[in-house]
Amino acid sequence: MTRQEILGWLREEDPGRLDELWTRSDAVRREHVGDAVHLRGLVEISNHCVRRCAYCGLRQPNQSLARYRMTAEEVMACAREAETRGYGTVVLQSGEDPGLNRFWVADLVAQIKRTTKLAVTLSLGERAKGDLWAWREAGADRYLARFETSDKDLYEAIHPSQGSRWPSRIPLLEALRSMGYEVGSGTMVGIPGQTYGSVADDVLIFKELDLDMIGIGPYIPHWATPLGSGTMRPRVDRSEQVPNSELMVYKVIALARVVRPDANIPSTTALATINPAAGRELGLRRGANVVMPNLTPLKYRKMYEIYPNKTCMTETGQQCDMCLRTRIAGIGREVGTGPGSRRKVS
């Protein structure tokens, strides 16, 4: 697909024409990754963060948030729950938290790999190469780090580098790949200042980076952040601003599927947050093949507030599991078994 075609779809409003895109992305999904929907148990292990991302509620200056860090025993209990529920993967996610020390995380990963059959995905931010190596050696299989937007100026404005070791996330993703991780990235859709042209570039980058996993969700304003409160207003022509609408997220998911036919693409929690009734299903019907039931203990879950009104805040792991299985069966799909790694076709 050319950049021009991608732009055409991003601007398309006609429901009949858009049905063609949905039909195409769903067919590509079925042909390349099948009808199985893989479940990845998500554990939000710490909400401490040293960064000042202008969009994220976990940002270090947000003092209205009580901070927590789970113990290794608590994380292990969640991993065992993931296995008991038949999930193939546990995803450990956090703010960028130096308190999650290299050796502690490595021991935790090793223990999960030793005592379960789970694939382990990490999403712990921009850590030092030595940390990433140690975790890979301990057995971690995958790493997620969204590049958020391909617009360099916008990215630098909303994700200040603070002298970070990684000037942007692209070199980080390349390093992860060279270490043998399966690599996941992705974007938010509808960030203030995000243009149609830059989102078309995002889609081309999904292809170029040959991503194993692609996570796409709507940008949701958080009142305790500069972008969400309106104190930061990136300037952009109104006709160029991409809306953070549900429809726009489906378009980007569908285009991601078309350009990366064999990637694992989740129907994200952020999407379910803006349409709790049907967002999960529509994501799965327009290109996605993964969902991530939340296993974070309830007492911590409301503190992992990257954006407000996150869905599934009060459901136990069991309720999340039941709800998602019902939704998957409701659209005639089946729950995947095994780790659900990417099976490369190209």
**Region of residue 55 (left: phi > 0; alpha: psi -120 to 50; beta: else):** alpha
Q: Report strand pairing: 213-218 vs 119-123.
A: unpaired
Q: Which residue has the tokens 């308190």?
A: 99
Cβ proximity of 289 and 333 under 8 Å: no
Which residue type sits at 46?
S
By the criterion CB under 6 A, which residues form the site for ligand SAH? 55-56, 93, 95-96, 123, 125, 145-146, 148, 188, 217, 219-220, 222, 270, 306-307
Distances (CA, A) of 213 to 148, 260, 293: 14, 9, 17
For ligand SAH, which is the closer residue by CB, 21 or 120? 120
**Phi/psi at 294 (5° precision):** -85, 125
Rounded to the nearest whole angstrom, what is the least distance from the CB of residue 97 to ligand SAH in the complex? 8
User: 183: which 2 tokens?
Assistant: 């690599």
**Phi/psi at 40 (5° precision):** -115, 120
For ligand SAH, which is the closer residue by CB, 56 or 183? 56
Rounded to the nearest whole angstrom, what is the least distance from the CB of residue 214 to ligand SAH in the complex? 12
For ligand SAH, which is the closer residue by CB, 25 or 149? 149
Rounded to the nearest whole angstrom, what is the least distance from the CB of residue 135 to ligand SAH in the complex? 14
For ligand SAH, which is the closer residue by CB, 21 or 291? 291
For ligand SAH, which is the closer residue by CB, 148 or 281? 148
Rounded to the nearest whole angstrom, what is the least distance from the CB of residue 117 to ligand SAH in the complex? 25
Rounded to the nearest whole angstrom, what is the least distance from the CB of residue 132 to ligand SAH in the complex? 13
Q: Which residue has the tokens 């958020």?
A: 148
